[in-house]
C-alpha cells in the first residue's frame, strides 16, 4: 500500500511540474495583442489559464493528500521500530549509573635497558 501511494505521489509531482511549465506567465497577455492570441483558441476564449489552473490545483491537492498518507505510514513504522530496537530513557539512565569494571594492572618496576651485544663496552683493566 505504501509503495502504491509513493508511486502516485511521484506521478502527481511530475504532472504538477509539467502543468506549471505549460502555463503562461502574467506578462504573456501583452504579447497577445500583437498577434499571438490565435494559438489560445484551443481552450476557449479565455485561453488555457483557467483550465490549466484548475487542473494544477486538483493535482496539488492530491500531492497534499499523498504527503499526509506517507507521513502516517512513516509515523507507524517509526513507532513499531522504536518498541523493538531503541532503548527507553530508563534503560539509558540505568546503564549510565553503573561503574564499568576495569581490569587491575600489576605494577612492575621498569626493566633496565639492555646493552646491545656488538656495542663497544669499556672494560676495566
> What residue ranges do the domains of the chain occupy?
1-23+47-83
Q: In the predicted model, what is the mean pLDDT of residues 100-117?
A: 70
Q: Give 57-74 pLDDT, tens digit per residue.
A: 999 999 999 999 999 999
Q: pTM of the predicted model, to two decimals?
A: 0.51
Is residue 50 over pLDDT 70?
A: yes
pLDDT at 35: 58
Q: Give 15-36 pLDDT, tens digit per residue.
A: 999 999 988 776 655 555 565 5
Q: In the predicted model, what is the mean pLDDT of residues 37-51?
A: 59
Residue 104: pLDDT band with limits 50, 70, 90: confident
Query: What does 28-82 look like in DSSP terms, one character per residue?
Result: HHHHIIIIIGGGGGGG-TT-SHHHHHHHHHHHHHHHHHHHHHHHHHHHHHHHHHH
Amino acid at each position: 500500500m505504501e509503495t502504491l501511494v509513493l508511486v502516485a505521489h511521484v506521478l502527481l509531482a511530475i504532472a504538477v511540474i509539467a502543468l506549471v511549465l505549460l502555463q503562461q506567465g502574467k506578462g504573456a497577455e501583452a504579447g497577445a495583442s500583437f498577434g499571438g492570441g490565435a494559438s489560445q483558441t484551443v481552450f476557449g476564449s479565455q485561453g488555457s489559464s483557467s483550465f490549466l489552473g484548475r487542473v494544477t490545483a486538483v493535482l496539488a491537492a492530491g500531492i497534499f493528500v499523498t504527503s499526509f498518507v506517507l507521513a502516517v505510514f512513516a509515523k507507524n513504522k517509526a513507532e513499531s521500530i522504536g518498541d523493538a530496537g531503541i532503548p527507553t530513557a530508563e534503560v539509558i539512565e540505568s546503564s549510565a549509573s553503573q561503574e564499568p569494571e576495569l581490569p587491575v594492572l600489576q605494577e612492575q618496576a621498569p626493566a633496565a635497558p639492555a646493552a646491545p651485544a656488538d656495542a663497544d663496552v669499556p672494560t676495566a683493566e
